[in-house]
């Protein structure tokens, strides 16, 4: 194995999403990772979201087949955890040396997380000085139930995979869509099937994350109910005409804008919440990914609502691949930020 030429990373990123399972494997030094493998397979949301043993086994078999067909060269994997299963908060902690901090945080976390500490897996990232208390520093604290982690571990070990890390989907997504030197505050929105992941990144690090229970499925339901069409037809219309007020005489816009506004209202609340802690910091830009990145005029709608610039996220912004794959990679970019972000981890 040659370090100078850039070795194959000894793990891959795995996003077990609601409508698809996706994987990415990269190779090369951490600042210039090249694409080695990517693959995905559609899954039935009913299977993906079920905790039933039989559904989990079905999902495991699909993952096993995907990994094998993609010829991934390692069994080591970094796995995403759906943000709806993760509790996240920002907390102020004393300025302590790392080893003491590692002892102090669990004690403090006990009062902050919604589940008993003994039944939870916690993790944290040091963010820097607290804006609220000059004598303290702030951390981004996450927790997930041991039960969820253990079930996922069992499922992945049953197909011979070796889990090296679990990470909340939203943090992986933020890694893929930004760089550590991204200046200012940016709003990231990953609009998934059932829910939307929101992250506000400040100076390159996530400072607020939230899962909002509105996603593409709600848009499609609104369209099919209002226009009295089936789900397939609703999907075609929503992804073809989106939030255009002109196309199809604005019928799709009228049918779904109320639901989109539910999402917008929650986003607005999060921006306000962010600004009560980080006063005088303006959210300058939004980045949209997931299903809504391909809903026509959704980004424009967000831009107009908040009066900010909106970009379509590029899942591959930190990944290199040959020029002739540009179109192929861009076509799937909106679905791959979580898997790419997991693959970009340093371990």
312 touches 271 (CB < 8 A) = no
**CA–CA separation, 71 vs 40, rounded Å?**
13
The 10 Å Cβ neighbour count of residue 309 is: 12
Query: Going by DSSP bridges, is the β-strand pair 185-191/319-320 parallel, antiparallel, or unpaired?
Result: unpaired
Residue number with CB closer to ligand ADP (127 or 315): 315
Non-local CB neighbours of 274 within 8 Å, separated by 6+ positions: 185, 200, 207, 208, 281, 283
Q: Of Mg ion, ligand ADP, none, which one sits near residue 294, judging by CB under 5 to 8 A according to partner kind?
A: ligand ADP
Which residue carries 């209202």 as its tokens? 265
As measured in angstroms, the least distance from the Cβ of 236 to Mg ion is 21
The string of DSSP letters for 73-102 reads S-SEEEEEE-GGG-EEEEEEEE---HHHHH
Q: Of ligand ADP, Mg ion, none, which one sits near residue 193, judging by CB under 5 to 8 A according to partner kind?
A: ligand ADP
Non-local CB neighbours of 341 within 8 Å, separated by 6+ positions: 13, 167, 171, 172, 173, 174, 175, 176, 177, 315
Interface with Mg ion includes 17 (CB under 5 A)? yes
Residue number with CB closer to ligand ADP (239 or 306): 239
Residue number with CB closer to Mg ion (120 or 196): 196
As measured in angstroms, the least distance from the Cβ of 223 to ligand ADP is 13
Which residue carries 């179109």 as its tokens? 327
As measured in angstroms, the least distance from the Cβ of 48 to Mg ion is 10
The string of DSSP letters for 278-325 reads STT--EEEEEEEEGGGGSTTHHHHHHHHHTSEEEE--TTTTEE--GGG
User: Helices 298-306 and 251-277 sit at what angle, rounded to 10 degrees?
Assistant: 50
Interface with Mg ion includes 341 (CB under 5 A)? no
Q: From 26, 30, 10, select the one nearest 77 (Cα to Cα).
A: 10
Q: Of Mg ion, ligand ADP, none, which one sits near residue 19, judging by CB under 5 to 8 A according to partner kind?
A: ligand ADP
Residue number with CB closer to Mg ion (145 or 334): 334
Residue number with CB closer to ligand ADP (67 or 139): 67
Q: Give contact residues for ligand ADP (rule: CB under 6 A).
A: 17-20, 192-195, 215-216, 239, 290-291, 294, 334-335
Q: Of Mg ion, ligand ADP, none, which one sits near residue 334, judging by CB under 5 to 8 A according to partner kind?
A: ligand ADP
Residue number with CB closer to Mg ion (17 or 131): 17
**Segment 140 to 179, residues that bind Mg ion, using CB under 5 A:** none
Q: Of ligand ADP, Mg ion, none, which one sits near residue 25, judging by CB under 5 to 8 A according to partner kind?
A: none
Interface with Mg ion includes 13 (CB under 5 A)? no
As measured in angstroms, the least distance from the Cβ of 338 to Mg ion is 5
Residue number with CB closer to Mg ion (45 or 296): 45
Helix (H) or strand (E) holding 187: strand 185-191
As measured in angstroms, the least distance from the Cβ of 6 to ligand ADP is 29
Residue number with CB closer to Mg ion (17 or 299): 17
Interface with Mg ion includes 192 (CB under 5 A)? yes
Residue 4 per-residue DSSP state:
S
**CA–CA separation, 232 vs 238, rounded Å?**
10
As measured in angstroms, the least distance from the Cβ of 308 to Mg ion is 23
Binding site for Mg ion (CB under 5 A): 17, 192
């Amino acid at each position: 194995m040659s370090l100078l030429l850039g070795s194959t990373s000894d793990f891959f990123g795995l996003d077990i999403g609601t409508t698809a399972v996706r994987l990415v494997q990269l190779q090369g030094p951490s600042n210039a990772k090249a694409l080695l493998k990517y693959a995905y397979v559609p899954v039935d949301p009913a299977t993906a979201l079920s905790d039933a043993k039989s559904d989990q086994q079905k999902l495991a078999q699909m993952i096993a087949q995907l990994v094998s067909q993609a010829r991934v060269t390692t069994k080591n994997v970094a796995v995403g955890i759906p943000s709806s299963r993760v509790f996240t908060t920002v907390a102020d902690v004393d300025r302590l040396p790392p080893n003491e901090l590692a002892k102090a945080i669990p004690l403090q976390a006990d009062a902050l997380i919604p589940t008993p500490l003994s039944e939870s897996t916690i993790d944290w990232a040091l963010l820097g000085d607290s804006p609220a208390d000059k004598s303290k520093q702030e951390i981004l604290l996450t927790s997930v139930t041991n039960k969820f982690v253990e079930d996922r571990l069992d499922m992945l070990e049953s197909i011979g995979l070796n889990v090296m890390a679990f990470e909340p989907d939203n943090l992986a997504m933020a890694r893929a869509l930004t760089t550590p030197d991204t200046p200012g505050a940016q709003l990231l929105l990953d609009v998934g099937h059932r829910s939307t992941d929101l992250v506000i990144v400040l100076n390159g690090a996530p400072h607020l994350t939230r899962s909002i229970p509105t996603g593409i499925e709600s848009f499609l339901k609104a369209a099919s109910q209002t226009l009295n069409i089936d789900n397939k037809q609703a999907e075609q219309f929503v992804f073809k005409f989106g939030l255009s007020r002109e196309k199809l005489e604005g019928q799709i816009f009228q049918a779904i804008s109320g639901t989109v506004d539910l999402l917008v209202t929650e986003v607005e609340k999060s921006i306000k919440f962010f600004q009560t802690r980080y006063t005088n910091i303006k959210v300058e830009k939004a980045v949209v990914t997931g299903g809504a990145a391909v809903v026509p005029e959704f980004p424009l709608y967000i831009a107009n609502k908040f009066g900010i610039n909106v970009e379509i996220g590029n899942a591959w912004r930190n990944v290199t691949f040959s020029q002739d794959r540009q179109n192929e990679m861009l076509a799937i970019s909106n679905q791959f930020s979580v898997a790419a972000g997991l693959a970009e981890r340093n371990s």
